Structure 1
Amino acid sequence: MGAKKTTRAPKSLSAGRPPMLHRPQKSISRKTTKALINKHHLLEKRKQQAIAKGDKAQEKLIDVELKALGGIERYQEASLQGQRHDRGGDSSRVLVEWLEPCLASRQAPQDGPLRMLEVGALSTQNACSKSGHFATIERIDLNSQGEGILQQDFMERSLPQDDSERFDVLSLSLVLNFVPDPKGRGEMLLRTTEFLHRPEHYPASSSSQTDKFPCLFLVLPAPCVANSRYLDEDKLSTIMSSMGYTKIASKTTQRLVYYLWRRTTDSLGLVGRFPKKEIRAGPTRNNFAVTL
């Protein structure tokens, strides 16, 4: 049975992004890059706490601090610097590594061209773009950093009308953590299912197709899963399973956690039964959560 469509308009992703301040791009040192990104995430955390408390004055003060840092554009500059090969960046390298065995076994033309949607794209020169495996890569971001990246909010993107508008791979790298509230994060994850092909789209006889596709690549700051009061690995897996996803790969570093989820069914399971509930106590925990 297919997913039941909701008539409530999803919240715009832009609601979770900080103010933008236009500045010319320039090189940022490794130390400055790390400090800026960490400060940005800390302010975002404090802002969400202020919003949860209804503290408008504190929220405005934090917005001023974010603007002083340079807003989302300065953060993106730092992220782009962090993606440089000599700094160990570009999360899409992990995606290509995970997909490589499957991609290498594909047989053209019977397996068909691969299409990818990259949400929160920062560059047209990342590992996926250079891999040569994708016939089409559509890149979108709230604040496009250049030609080849469409300025668009994923939550406001028109839903696909047929398979020609659906994708084999959808990437959400450091995007979900910018959604301002737990319910919005759940809506974003659920919305990804609308943009991926259905599992039956791939011929049963084609092992190269059915091994990994269709899939969602999800990257989050590691503390969102490792140190949250409301979310851990098991709960995230249960939430994703309820949407028809099966985890086929994961990797955790000091800063980030990477996941590859394969869409294995159209059926929705326990959607609507994931409230914000404390699963780990402690004063050092953060409040990152996903609800449905």
Structure 2
Amino acid sequence: MSVKKRQKSLASGRPPASRPKERMTSERSRTIIRTHHTLQKEHVAALKRGDTAAALEIATAIERNGGIKTYQAASKQGQAKDRGGDSSKILINWLQQSKVIGAKDHGHYRKEKPSLQCLEVGALSPSNEISKFPGEIHMTRIDLNSQDPSIEKQDLMERRLPASDEERFDIISLSLVLNYVPDATGRGDMLRRITKFLRPIKGENEVTPTIGPFLFLVLPLPCVDNSRYLDEPLLLQIMSNLGFTKQYNKKSLKLCYYLFTWNGKVTTRKSGKKKLRDKPAMNNFSIVLQ
């Protein structure tokens, strides 16, 4: 089995492996996802402390678990219709409630206005729900290990910063991406970097809508509801420090969804790691703003 050269930066713990089977049980997909996340975090921790032997051993374990390709296949299974997936359905619903776009069966709401520019980070498929609005939303899709030619292979943290508003986006989708970043500081850095890609709000006479720009954020529910270092009030405070205001939110049995608008004002406030609560079986997920 050949192992491709690893991605750098946030992808340092994600060695690829063999191509997975097309279909798997929900129990198997959950096990693959949980194991991959655990091993990936352990791999990054080993690299940080300079333990190359442990890092190599963990990388081998990641490969045995199927690597990034199997992990992505498991994630795609979660997006299948028969499993209630595809978080972009919720994003579309909220954009319609905000009257930013129209219903598919009622014509285009934006009429002569240009399409909204949306950046989907960690894209798994070019045919999700948000792809069904080509006249109103123009999609740019990136992923660390793209499996489709219409998805650019790219790390958000290495993407070139926009040189003008024309290169920025009205919507950024960050669905089950932030939790993949292996450390708290890296998560804060990603959220801060997101603001550099959003198009600043303009007035009533401008071509862009007065509502927005938007950040769609999806996290596993335990990251917010079962962490020693993060709860929803703290998450919203961190987002507020970066200029984000919550417009909508929803929780399912496994995930939490948020739609934020951005006011263009990023503060220099720091947010450290502080224990908020401590009970058995809690996790250590956190976000640190430096």
Instruction: Tell me whether the two structures share a fold, i.e. TM-score over 0.5.
Output: yes
1:176 counterpart = 2:178 = yes
Q: 1:29 aligns with which of 10, 25, 41?
A: 25
CA contact under 8 A between 1:219 and 1:258: conserved in structure 2?
yes
1:72-221 correspondence runs (5 A) = 72-101=68-97, 102=99, 103-104=101-102, 106-109=109-112, 111-200=113-202, 203-204=203-204, 209-211=209-211, 213-221=212-220
Residues 86, 129 of structure 2: 8 Å contact kept = yes
Q: Which has the higher contact order (CA 8 A, sep 6+)?
A: 1
Distance 1:83 1:250 in 2: 19
Report the 3-state secondary structure (helix = DSSP H, G, I; strand = E; otherwise coil) of the residue aligned with 1:78: helix
> Counterparts of 1:52 and 1:235 in 2: how far apart (Å)?
27
2:259 aligned partner, one-letter code: L
User: Paired residue for 2:245?
Assistant: 246
Q: Across the two proteins, how many residue pairs are aligned to each other? A: 275
Counterpart code for 2:91: L
How far residue 184 of structure 1 moved from its aligned partner, in angstroms, is 1.0
Q: Please give the alpha-carbon distance, in whole angstroms, between the structure 1 residues aligned to 2:251 and 2:52.
A: 35
Q: 1:77 to 1:254 in 2, by over 3 A?
A: same
Counterpart CA distance in 2 for 1:168 and 1:229 is 33
Contact 1:227 1:286 in 2 (8 A): yes
TM-score (norm 1): 0.86
Partner of 1:289, secondary structure, is: coil
Q: Deviations over 1:125-181 (max 9, x none)?
A: 001012335442110001001120000111000011112111110011111111121
Instruction: Show the 5 A alignment for 1:252-263.
Output: 252-263=251-262
Query: Which sections of structure 1, spanning at least 5 residues, go unmatched?
Result: 1-10
In the alignment, the residues of structure 1 paired with residue 157 and residue 226 of structure 2 have an alpha-carbon distance, to the nearest angstrom, of 27
Matched AA of 2:204: A
Letter of the 2:110 counterpart: Q
Alignment check: 8 A CA contact 2:41 2:182 kept: no
The one-letter code of the counterpart of 1:172 is L
Normalized against structure 2, the TM-score is what?
A: 0.86
Q: Where does structure 2 lack aligned partners over 5 or more consecutive residues?
A: 1-7, 103-107
- Aligned-residue Cα RMSD (Å) equals 2.4
Q: Compute the displacement of 1:35 (Å).
A: 2.4
> Could you tell me the percent identity over the aligned residues?
45
Q: Is the 8 A contact 2:219 2:257 kept in 1?
A: yes
